[in-house]
Chain A
Amino acid sequence: MPKKLSIIYDRTRWEEKALIKAARRKRISTNLIDGKNICLNISGKYDSETYGDIILQRCISYFRGLHISAVLERKGLPVVNSFNTSLICGNKLFTSLALENAGVPTPKTYVTFTSEAALEALEKIGYPAVVKPVVGSWGRLVSPVRDRATAEAILEHREQMNNALLQIHYIQEMVERPPRDIRTIVVGDEVAVSVYRSAPAGAWRTNVALGATTIPCPTSSQLEDIVLRAARAVGGGVLAVDAMESPNGPVVHEVNSTIEFRGASTATGVNIASKIIDYVIKTSKK
């Protein structure tokens, strides 16, 4: 019986269009579901009529996607990525813990819940350091902290923002690295592609959403080993593992779950969307 695929989205980006195109080319019946308008009855029956045999959850909103996955997975429908993987990758602290536990090289990290404790952690890590929110992406509110005065200003600012998530201070050492990082797209047990992402001149963050440029990067066996272990550590699936080139080798600082791969696809010519669809269909047969 041919498989039916559902893609749950909240915005149709370049990536979603590429995924839809790849699925249609493989003659997989594809159903698009707007996650914003979804109405889920937790005691309802979920058949493949409405949701297909396999669900690719692609919401940009972490919390919305996570809650949708929670219901559908619990109702017995296979979801990519899994609820557990999405949960871990959407939170920088949970990701760091998973990496640390699996012995994957990752930057020194502290978590604190008050400004005073944050300043203490910064003294332990040493300046410069990085303060990040545990949830959120595209480099938003990620601040390099060069000295104690900057730290006090940033922390005071966060305290004044009436937002529970910003009261969790995720504090990380600033790894000595070239002004670029390496993004590796992992699909299941395989590396699809690695790319360098360079920060625009004068900038510091390497998010493509902030204008970083992307060029192909050879995947060394050392890098491959580390990124595959990182992917496994967070529960596996379709992931983007971001690593920095420290003097002691690659250090993984982030694993992303609802991945953006336009830059990596365009820079390398690799059809990442096609690889993702193959993996998703394989997963539905398990």
Chain B
Amino acid sequence: MKCKCPECDGEITIPKDAVEGEIVTCPDCGLEYELTFDKDGKCNLKTAEVVGEDWGE
């Protein structure tokens, strides 16, 4: 599956085993997106959260 980068219109390939909430990176502009799926299986890209100071294990 392919998705258009909302920022630069670049083409982002979505891996077959991709899961809701996974992070994908645009190969053209390098922005990170969180992957979500519609009810009909269409993928959506949402700008990923930036790393918080309380992130980690």
Report chain A residues within 8 Å CB of B53. 133, 135-136, 140, 163, 165
Are A137's CB and B20's CB within 8 A? no
Given known A-B contacts A36-B49, A61-B52, A12 and B21 have beta carbons under 8 A apart? yes
Are A258's CB and B57's CB within 8 A? yes
Report chain B residues within 8 Å CB of A209. 56
Bound form: Cα–Cα A165–B53 in Å? 10
Taking CB atoms and an 8 Å cut-off, the chain A residues in 42-71 that contact chain B are: 60-64
Bound form: Cα–Cα A132–B16 in Å? 41
Closest to B48 in A: A11
Closest to B55 in A: A60
Bound form: Cα–Cα A62–B54 in Å? 5
Are B19's CB and A138's CB within 8 A? no
Interface of B is mostly: loop
Closest to A208 in B: B57
Given known A-B contacts A10-B49, A11-B34, A36-B49, A60 and B56 have beta carbons under 8 A apart? yes
Are A12's CB and B20's CB within 8 A? yes
Q: Which of B19, B22, B52, B56 has the most CB of A within 10 A?
A: B56
Are B21's CB and A16's CB within 8 A? yes
Q: How large is the interface on B (under 10, 10 to 19, 20 to 34, 35 or more residues)?
A: 10 to 19
Given known A-B contacts A62-B56, A63-B54, A34 and B20 have beta carbons under 8 A apart? yes
Instruction: Say whether B38 faces chain A, with CB atoms less than 8 Å apart.
Output: no
Taking CB atoms and an 8 Å cut-off, the chain B residues in 14-57 that contact chain A are: 17, 19-23, 34, 48-49, 52-57
Instruction: Say whether A259 faces chain B, with CB atoms less than 8 Å apart.
Output: yes
Are A10's CB and B21's CB within 8 A? yes
Given known A-B contacts A11-B21, A36-B49, A136 and B56 have beta carbons under 8 A apart? yes
Are A16's CB and B49's CB within 8 A? no
Instruction: Say whether A88 faces chain B, with CB atoms less than 8 Å apart.
Output: no
Given contacts A60-B55, A60-B56, A136-B53, 6 further A-B contacts (CB under 8 A): A12-B19, A12-B21, A32-B20, A62-B56, A90-B54, A256-B56
